[in-house]
Amino acid sequence: MTLAPNVYDAEPIPEAARAEIDRMLQSGDLFRYTAPENAPVTLLEREFAEVMGSRYALAASSCSAVLFLSLKALGLKSGARVLIPAFTFAAVPSSVVHADCVPVLCEVGENYRIDIDDFATRLEDRIDAVIVSHMRGHTSDMDAIMALCAARGIPVIEDAAHSLGTTWAGRKIGTIGRVGCFSFQSYKLVNAGEGGIMITDDPDLVARAVIMSGAYEHNWAKHMTEDDAALKAAFAHWQNKLPLYNLRMGNLSAAIIRPQLGEVARRVRDGRANHDYVAARLNTSPWLQVPNKLPREERAPDSIQFNLVGLSDDDTNAFAEAAAARGIKVQVFGMSTDNARAFWNWGFLPEAPGDLPRTRAMLMRACDVRLPARLTRDELDFVAEALTRAAGDVMGEARAYGT
C-alpha cells in the first residue's frame, strides 16, 4: 500500500550548486558587488533574462521586494491607486502598502481568474497601475486586461511569483506586462529558500529599480552587459536621485538558483501531467470540480485547486477533516480564521475593500492541495482517491445522475 505522500518537501538542489558554494565559502565572496564582474547574481540575471527573452532582469531578496521596486520604479506617487485581484497572497497588497500606494480589489470568479467585467468597471475608479496576480499559476484573460489597460495608458505589473513556465497564447507569463515578477521562495517552482527577480524591456524602469535595490555609487555599472546607450543614460540620469532600499540578492542564493533553471522544463512538464491526471479523477466526483484552464493558457502547476459543489459550510469542514483522516491535508482558502489568501484577513488595508461577493463565495468552497512535480503515479492515485472518498464520506457515495 502507498503511504500518504509528503507534499511539502522540495526536490534536492542540483549537485552543481555544491562546487560553487564551496568556492564561495573559501573566498568569502558573498556580496554581489564585490567581484569586478560576473558575480553569480549578475550571471543569474543574464541567464534568466535570456531564458525569458527579456532585455533586463534584476534579482532581489523576494518577489515582494521586486513588486515593491516595480511600483517605485513606475514613479507612482504617494496614495496612487493600484488595482489587484481580491484572490491573491497577502504579500501583494502588502507590497502596494509598502510603496505608499492604495490597493483596490477586484472580483475573482469561481475559476480563480479575474472577473473581467468587474475589472473594467473598477479600472475607471482613478486607477494608476495594475498588478495582475497569477494566483497559484492561474492566468486571467491577458488579452482583455492588456487591451483595457493600454486604452487608458495604465501600466501592468505581472505578479508571476508562482507562474514560471506558464504561457499565454505562446508568450511566457511575466513578459506580457511592463514588468514581470517571480519568486524563488521554497514553495515555488525554483527554490532558493527566499529570493525574487523582475524582468522588463524598459531601460528607464530597470535603471530606477536597480539603483533603489541598493546599487549605490557606481555599482549600477555591473548591470551593464554590452554597450546599451539607453540604459547608460538612464543610470546617469537617476544617479544620486533615488533612495537605496537595499533589497539585494546575495551570491549564495544565486548559486542555488542557477543550476535549477535547467530543471524548469521538466518540472513544468511533470507538474502539468500530474495536475491533469488528478484533475480528471477529481472531476468524476459530483461533489468536486476542477475549473478548466482558459484556452490560450498552458499551465505549470505544482498544486491543485478545486471547488466543492453542493456542500454547506459544515459539509466543507467535514470534508477537510475526512481528507485529513485519509492522509491528505486540504486547505479551504476562506475557512480558517487566518488564511493569508482571504482578503477579509488583510486588516492592514488603508481603504476597506468593500463587498466582493463572488470572490468571497469562491474562497469559501475553493480547496488547495499541493501536488509537486516529483510525485509518482501511485502517490497521485493516493491523493485523488483520498479526496474523492472524503467527499463520499461526507455527501454519500457518488450516484449516476438521472437513474
Ligand X SMILES: *Cc1c(COP(=O)(O)O)cnc(C)c1O
Q: Which residues contact ligand X (rule: CB under 6 A)? A: 62-64, 88-89, 91-92, 133, 135, 159, 161-162, 183, 185, 196
Element at 200 (helix H, strand E) = strand 196-200
- Residue 166 CB, shortest distance to ligand X, in Å, is 12
Output the smallest distance, CB 13 to ligand X, in A.
17
Rounded Cα–Cα distance for residues 82 and 347 (Å):
17
**And the C-alpha cell for 123?**
479600472
- Give the neighbor-by-neighbor strand order of the sheet with 56-60: 56-60, 196-200, 179-183, 156-159, 129-133, 81-85, 102-106
Q: How far is the CB of 91 from ligand X (least distance, A)?
A: 4
Instruction: Report the residue number, 64 or 251, with the smaller CB distance to ligand X.
Output: 64
Q: Which is nearer to ligand X, 291 or 392 (CB)?
A: 291
Q: How far is the CB of 247 from ligand X (least distance, A)?
A: 11
Choose between 62 and 285: whose C-beta lies nearer to ligand X. 62
- Taking the least distance from each CB to ligand X, the nearer of 203 and 271 is 271
The number of beta carbons lying within 10 Å of the beta carbon of residue 13 is 18
Give min distance, CB of 177 to ligand X, in A. Answer: 14
Nearer residue to ligand X within complex by CB, 96 or 234: 96
**Minimum distance, C-beta of residue 92 to ligand X, in the bound complex (Å):** 5
Task: Considering the complex, state which of residue 44 and residue 395 has its C-beta at the smaller distance from ligand X.
Answer: 44
Quote the CA–CA distance of 267 and 21 in Å, as a whole number.
24
d(C-alpha 10, C-alpha 308), whole Å:
28
Q: How far is the CB of 250 from ligand X (least distance, A)?
A: 15
Nearer to ligand X, 49 or 164 (CB): 164
Nearer Cβ to ligand X (181/215) = 181
Query: For residue 221, is it left (φ>0), alpha (ψ between -120 and 50) or beta?
Result: alpha
Q: Following DSSP, what letter does each residue of 238-289 receive, concatenated?
A: HTTTS-----PPPHHHHHHHGGGGGGHHHHHHHHHHHHHHHHHHHTTSTTEE
- What burial class does residue 251 get, using C-beta atoms within 10 Å of its C-beta: 0-12 exposed, 13-18 middle, 19+ buried? buried
Q: Are strands 179-183 and 156-159 parallel, antiparallel or unpaired?
A: parallel
Minimum Å gap between C-beta 137 and ligand X is 8
Longest dimension (CA), the chain: 76
Q: What are phi and psi of 103, to 5 degrees?
A: -75, 135
